[in-house]
Amino acid sequence: MKYYLILDIGGTKTSGALFTEDGKIVEDYVHVSPSKTFLGEEAVYQNTKDVLVHIINHFSLEMEDVLGIGVGSPGPLDAEKGIIIHAPLMGWRNFPIVERLEADFGKKVLLDNDGNLGALAEVRMGVAKGLQNVIYMTVSTGCGGGIVVNGQVYRGSSFGAGEVGHMSIMPEGLTCPCGSVGCFELYASGTAINNRLLIDMEKGIQSKAFDLAEHKAENLNGKVLNKAAELGDAYALEVYRKEGYYLGIGIANQFNFFNPQTIVLGGGVTKAKKFFHETLMETLKQRCIQPIDDGSVRYSIMNDRVVLYGAYCLIKEYTDKTY
């Protein structure tokens, strides 16, 4: 048996898994380790490397049985040069992750960003399998994305395509850390929802969500909001209706611009899809030039593992072509 070592580097946690040649996670085992951010460039790298070492030891793997290593990381990065250009949480600036991993493990390493790998995973193995023109968008802390055109990931001229979170939807809106104003993710991400909850709780608005959070700011999150919505809480349902509306605006822009066959949504916020899906679809139908139907929006079922699957597809397609 031959295998692929797969790594998903994140700002808070880094995950590793061993994949079979045909894309199954061996023993359904994913090793997750805190990313040890802020410890400096080298310590963070060692920690990242240790995730792979852990997988190798866990399976008593012989390196001759490893066909290659696929790595997903937040951008901005240069996939061709294998460099992470800027990852503030990791202390990495122009960090040559591919060169380092290739030197340490003696295997071909390929790198791409979360959004691109999410898109790749969905069109190769996920709910958009076999489709040619697809956008993948994750709605979690921020909103990231990836674009597949004619069956291939479209990366842009400097690997910067798919930054859907920073399309401006409110010209006079909130200021974004990116320097722009009114960015989509300031309205539609999980962080945006949390901020809205905090502001409304401080205003004295009544909701079961705030009761469930014991009126403490640190307890405000998607979980309490979801629970409150399940209980029929009017405020919680309205927050999700707004979420559907903002998502609809951002997604309609993408439909009008790219005319994809479908948009796949992933990320933690989509766990509450039953509360926002209807408003999302209404907003799309109102704003899209081309017809929208039930298949126009799909929800990822790969959840936390989508980047792992994408990184597997990336390295697998490379080695299939090479060997």
- Judged by the rule CB under 5 A, the positions of this chain that interact with Zn ion are 166, 176, 178, 180, 183
Q: Which residues on adjacent β-strands are paired with residue 288?
A: none
39 or 169, CB closer to Zn ion?
A: 169
**Per this entry, what is the length of the chain?**
323
Can you tell me whether residue 61 is helix, strand or coil? Answer: coil
Reduced to 3 states (helix: H, G, I; strand: E, B; else coil), residue 20 is strand
Which runs of consecutive H residues, i.e. helices, occur in 208-302? 208-212, 222-230, 234-258, 273-287
Name the phi and psi angles at 93, rounded to 5.
Answer: -135, 125
Closer to Zn ion by Cβ: residue 86 or 100: 86
Report, in Å, the least distance between residue 250 CB and Zn ion.
12
* Least distance between Zn ion and beta carbon 167 (Å): 9
Spell out the residues 6+ positions from residue 130 whose beta carbon is closer than 8 angstroms to its own.
Answer: 123
Q: Report the residue number, 74 or 82, with the smaller CB distance to Zn ion.
A: 74
CB of 154 vs Zn ion, minimal distance in Å: 20
Cross-strand partners of 71 = 7, 111
Residue number, 148 or 186, with CB nearest to Zn ion = 186
Q: Least Å distance between CB 140 and Zn ion?
A: 15
> Which helix (DSSP H) or strand (DSSP E) does residue 18 occupy?
strand 13-20
Q: Which is nearer to Zn ion, 53 or 174 (CB)?
A: 174
Q: How far is the CB of 77 from Zn ion (least distance, A)?
A: 18
